[in-house]
Chains A and B, each alone.
Chain A
Amino acid sequence: MSADSESRGPAWLLPASGLARLHDSLREAGYQVIGPRVVNGAIVLRELSSADELPFGWGVTLAPGGYRLRRRADHAAFAHSAGPGSWKQFLHPPREQLWSAHRTPDGGYSADSAAASDAKLAFIGVRPCDLRAIQIQDQVLGAPTHPDSTYASRRSSVFIVAVNCTEPGETCFCTSMGTGPRAGRGYDLLLTELTGPGDHTFVVEAGSAAGEATLAGLDLRPADPGAMRRAQASVSEAAGKMGRTMHADGLRDLLARSHDAARWEDVASRCLTCGNCTMACPTCFCTTVEDVTDLSGDHAERWQSWASCFDLDFSYVHSGPVRSSGESRYRQWLTHKLGTWHDQFGSSGCVGCGRCIVWCPVGIDITEEVAALQAELGGPEAGE
Chain B
Amino acid sequence: MRDSPRPKLAVWKLASCDGCQLTVLDCQDELLALAAEVDIAHFTEATTTDLPGPYDVSLVEGSITTPADAERIRQIRADSRTLVTIGACATAGGIQALRNFADAAEFSAAIYARPDYVASLATSTPVSGHVPVDFELRGCPIDKRQLLSVLSALLAGRQPRIPGHSVCHECKLRGTACVMVAHGTPCLGPVTQAGCGAICPSFDRGCYGCFGPMATPNTAALVPELMRLGTAPGDVRRVFATFNAAAPGFRDVRPKP
Whether chain B is bound by chain A comes out as yes
| Chain A contact residues, CB within 8 Å of chain B | 39-42, 44, 65-68, 83-85, 89, 94-95, 269-276, 279-280, 290-297, 305-306, 308, 310-313, 324, 326, 358-359, 361-363
CA of A358 to CA of B181, assembled, Å? 7
Q: Is the CB of A297 within 8 A of B177?
A: no
Q: Is the CB of A361 within 8 A of B33?
A: no
- From known contacts A272-B190, A273-B218, A313-B163, infer whether A292 and B149 are also in contact, taking CB-CB under 8 Å: yes
CA of A41 to CA of B34, assembled, Å? 42
Q: Does B215 contact A (CB under 8 A)?
A: yes
B220 to chain A, nearest CB (A): 8
Provide the residues of chain B in CB contact with A83, threshold 8 Å.
177
A81 to chain B, nearest CB (A): 14
Q: Is the CB of A275 within 8 A of B173?
A: no
- From known contacts A292-B149, A326-B216, infer whether A65 and B168 are also in contact, taking CB-CB under 8 Å: no
> B204 — nearest CB in chain A belongs to which residue?
A40
- From known contacts A94-B173, A306-B173, A362-B222, infer whether A272 and B156 are also in contact, taking CB-CB under 8 Å: no
Q: Is the CB of A272 within 8 A of B178?
A: no
Q: Does B238 contact A (CB under 8 A)?
A: no
Mark contacts of B141-185 with chain A using CB atoms, 8 A cut-off: 1 yes-contact digit, 0 otherwise.
000000011011101101001011110110011110110111110
Instruction: Count how many pairs of residues, one from A and one from B, have CB atoms less than 8 Å apart in the complex.
Output: 133
- From known contacts A271-B221, A326-B216, A359-B181, infer whether A296 and B165 are also in contact, taking CB-CB under 8 Å: no
Q: Is the CB of A296 within 8 A of B169?
A: no
- From known contacts A41-B182, A311-B165, A313-B165, infer whether A293 and B158 are also in contact, taking CB-CB under 8 Å: yes
CA of A68 to CA of B175, assembled, Å? 17
Q: Is the CB of A359 within 8 A of B178?
A: yes
B17 to chain A, nearest CB (A): 26
Q: Is the CB of B166 within 8 A of A312?
A: no
User: Chain B contact residues (Cβ within 8 angstroms of A): what range?
Assistant: 35 or more
Provide the residues of chain B in CB contact with A313, threshold 8 Å.
163-165
Provide the residues of chain A in CB contact with B220, threshold 8 Å.
269
> B202 — nearest CB in chain A belongs to which residue?
A40
Q: Is the CB of B180 within 8 A of A361?
A: yes
Provide the residues of chain A in CB contact with B165, threshold 8 Å.
275, 308, 310-313
- From known contacts A292-B152, A293-B158, infer whether A65 and B169 are also in contact, taking CB-CB under 8 Å: no
Q: Is the CB of A40 within 8 A of B173?
A: no
Mark contacts of B215-245 with chain A using CB atoms, 8 A cut-off: 1 yes-contact digit, 0 otherwise.
1111011101100000000000000000000
Please name the 6 residue pairs, one residue from A and one from B, whose CB atoms are nearest each other, closest first.
A279-B172, A274-B190, A42-B177, A94-B173, A272-B190, A84-B177
Q: Is the CB of A295 within 8 A of B182?
A: no
Q: Is the CB of A295 within 8 A of B163?
A: no
| Chain B contact residues, CB within 8 Å of chain A | 30, 33-34, 36-37, 148-149, 151-153, 155-156, 158, 161, 163-166, 168-169, 172-175, 177-178, 180-184, 187, 189-191, 204, 215-218, 220-222, 224-225
> B179 — nearest CB in chain A belongs to which residue?
A41
A82 to chain B, nearest CB (A): 12
> B215 — nearest CB in chain A belongs to which residue?
A312
CA of A271 to CA of B217, assembled, Å? 10
CA of A326 to CA of B217, assembled, Å? 10
Q: Is the CB of A84 within 8 A of B156?
A: no
Q: Is the CB of B156 within 8 A of A297?
A: yes
Provide the residues of chain A in CB contact with B216, threshold 8 Å.
273, 312, 324, 326
CA of A67 to CA of B178, assembled, Å? 9
Q: Is the CB of B225 within 8 A of A361?
A: yes
Provide the residues of chain A in CB contact with B177, threshold 8 Å.
39-42, 44, 67, 83-85
Provide the residues of chain A in CB contact with B169, threshold 8 Å.
274-275, 279, 306, 308, 311
> A329 — nearest CB in chain B belongs to which residue?
B216
> A60 — nearest CB in chain B belongs to which residue?
B182
| 19 CB < 8 A contacts A-B | A40-B177, A40-B182, A40-B204, A42-B177, A42-B182, A44-B175, A67-B177, A84-B175, A273-B216, A276-B168, A276-B190, A279-B173, A292-B149, A295-B30, A295-B34, A361-B187, A362-B190, A362-B221, A362-B224
Q: Is the CB of B181 within 8 A of A293?
A: no
Q: Is the CB of B221 within 8 A of A276?
A: no
Q: Is the CB of A67 within 8 A of B182?
A: yes
CA of A271 to CA of B222, assembled, Å? 9
> B216 — nearest CB in chain A belongs to which residue?
A273
A270 to chain B, nearest CB (A): 5
> A305 — nearest CB in chain B belongs to which residue?
B173
CA of A324 to CA of B164, assembled, Å? 13
B179 to chain A, nearest CB (A): 9
Q: Is the CB of B173 within 8 A of A67?
A: no
